[in-house]
C-alpha cells in the first residue's frame, strides 16, 4: 500500500490538470506509486523522499521517474517537462529559429530556469532564437585528445540541452548540433542521457550510438528543507558522518536510475 501524503496529492492533481488527463494509480511499494492512463501512453513513477532506490518498470512506453524533493522544489519545471514529453508543449519548428553562440551568463541563467540539473558553463554555448527570444540552448565542453586517435582528433561532450519551459522546438536539437559541428568539426561528441527521463531514443535519431551505461548515482536530501546534495556538496558536518549518522541527522539517500552513455562519431 502506497502511503499518500499531501505532496503526492498535489502532484497528482496538478499533473492531471496540466495534461487534461485522469491517471490510474498502482502502488509499487509504500513509498513508490505508478501513475498511468493506458499501456501505450506516458507513465510516471512518483517516489517519496524515503524511497531510496528505483523500482524497475517493464513497459514499451516512456516511463518517467519523479522524486518528491524535486517536485517540492521545482514543481513548474517538472510539470512542463512531463507535458512536453507527452506532446502537450507549444511547438515551434527549427526552420523558424536562428542559431547563434551565446555568452556564459545567458546560458547559465537559461539552464537555471529551464533545466532540472545543475547549470554548467561549458566552453561553447549555442542558442536557438525565435523572434528574438531564446527558446533552446546547448552547452558543450572543450575538445579532448584521445588515445589511439590522430593528433588533430578532438572529442567533445554535450553537457546540457534544454528548451524553454512550455515550448518544444521541433528539430531544434539537430539544428544546434549541426551548428556546433560546422564550427568545430569534432571527431566525436559524447553525452549522457538521464534514465529517469530518457531511453536514449531521441539521441539515436540524431546519429548518437549507445556505448554504455553509468550506474545509479546517489544524492542526499535534507528532509527538513528538501534540499538535494551531491556527495561533494554536503555540509562539512554531514559529510564526515557515516550513512547511519547522516540518516539520524535528517538526511536520506536517493538513487536515480543511472545514465546512458552515447557517442556521435
Mean predicted lDDT score pLDDT of the chain: 96
Please tell me whether residues 74 and 46 are part of one structural domain. yes
What H or E segment, with its residue span, contains residue 152?
none
Q: Label residue 173 by pLDDT band (50, 70, 90).
A: very high
Please tell me whether residues 100 and 17 are part of one structural domain. no
Cell 552547452 locates to: 139
Q: Which has the higher per-residue pLDDT, 67 or 58? A: 67
| Percent of the chain whose pLDDT exceeds 90 | 95
Please tell me whether residues 234 and 169 are part of one structural domain. no
pLDDT (mean) for 102-118: 98
Give tens-digit pLDDT for 23-32: 999 999 999 9
* 77 lies in some domain: yes
Rounded to 5°, the CA angle 24-71-49 comes to 90
Cell 496529492 locates to: 9
Give tens-digit pLDDT for 2-54: 999 999 999 999 999 999 999 999 999 999 999 999 867 899 999 999 898 89
What H or E segment, with its residue span, contains residue 223?
none
- The domain in which residue 14 lies consists of 6-85
The reported pTM is: 0.93
Identify the CATH number of the domain in which residue 151 sits: 3.40.630.30
Give the model's pLDDT for residue 110.
99
Cα 77 to Cα 70: distance, rounded to the nearest angstrom: 9
CB of 204 closer than 8 Å to CB of 191: no
Please tell me whether residues 107 and 160 are part of one structural domain. yes
pLDDT (mean) for 188-194: 98
Q: Label residue 141 by pLDDT band (50, 70, 90).
A: very high
Amino acid at each position: 500500500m502506497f502511503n499518500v501524503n499531501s505532496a503526492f496529492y498535489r502532484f497528482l492533481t496538478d499533473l492531471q490538470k496540466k495534461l487534461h488527463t485522469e491517471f490510474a494509480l498502482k502502488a509499487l511499494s509504500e513509498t513508490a506509486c505508478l501513475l498511468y492512463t493506458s499501456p501505450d501512453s506516458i507513465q510516471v513513477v512518483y517516489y517519496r523522499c524515503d524511497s531510496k532506490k528505483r523500482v524497475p518498470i517493464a513497459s514499451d512506453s516512456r516511463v518517467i521517474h519523479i522524486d518528491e524533493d524535486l517536485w517540492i522544489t521545482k514543481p513548474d519545471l517538472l510539470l512542463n517537462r512531463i507535458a512536453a514529453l507527452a506532446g502537450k508543449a507549444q511547438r515551434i519548428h527549427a526552420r523558424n529559429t536562428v542559431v547563434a553562440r551565446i555568452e556564459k551568463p545567458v546560458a547559465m541563467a537559461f539552464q537555471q530556469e529551464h533545466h532540472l540539473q545543475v547549470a554548467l558553463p561549458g566552453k561553447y554555448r549555442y542558442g536557438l532564437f525565435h523572434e528574438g527570444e531564446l527558446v533552446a540552448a546547448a552547452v558543450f565542453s572543450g575538445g579532448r585528445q584521445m588515445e589511439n586517435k590522430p593528433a588533430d582528433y578532438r572529442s567533445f561532450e554535450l553537457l546540457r540541452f534544454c528548451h524553454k519551459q512550455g515550448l518544444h522546438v521541433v528539430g531544434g536539437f539537430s539544428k544546434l548540433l549541426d551548428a556546433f559541428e560546422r564550427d568545430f568539426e569534432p571527431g566525436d561528441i559524447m553525452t549522457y542521457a538521464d534514465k529517469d527521463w530518457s531511453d536514449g531514443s531521441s539521441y539515436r535519431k540524431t546519429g548518437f550510438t549507445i556505448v554504455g551505461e553509468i550506474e545509479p548515482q546517489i544524492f542526499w536530501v535534507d528532509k527538513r528543507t528538501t534540499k538535494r546534495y551531491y556527495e561533494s556538496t554536503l555540509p562539512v558536518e554531514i559529510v564526515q558522518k557515516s550513512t547511519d549518522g547522516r540518516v539520524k541527522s535528517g538526511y536520506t539517500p536517493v538513487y536515480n536510475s543511472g545514465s546512458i552513455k552515447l557517442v556521435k562519431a
